[in-house]
Amino acid sequence: MHSARTPPAGGHRQGSYADRAETYLRLLAESALRPAANGDTSRVRRAAEALTDAGVLSDQAAAEILADVQLALRLRGRRQTAGAGSRLRKLRGFQPASPLGQPGT
């Protein structure tokens, strides 16, 4: 039995690379939340930029993951040590300084 996410034998489903890229970035973001990472999200930011440059992850998905990790760090009382990349920072609605998803406030 195959799940809906399993690519058909002998081929790749259209969104399978995007799904894998998003999963990878979310796991990397999760590792940045561990105490040993000390709030350093530079690896997450660099990976997000590389995946969007390669075209396997949308800018919006990358921005949402970066915003999620920044929010999680704030809720844990830790300050983020590296900001979002310049390309992702330019996205409409991506305001890392705004509270709880209220863009531009």
10-34: pLDDT as tens digits = 555 557 899 999 999 999 999 999 9
Average pLDDT of the chain to the nearest whole number: 76
Return the HEC string of 24-93: HHHHHHHHHCCHHHCCCCHHHHHHHHHHHHHCCCCHHHHHHHHHHHHHHHHHCCCCCCCCCCHHHHCCCC
Query: Can you give the pTM of this predicted structure?
Result: 0.63
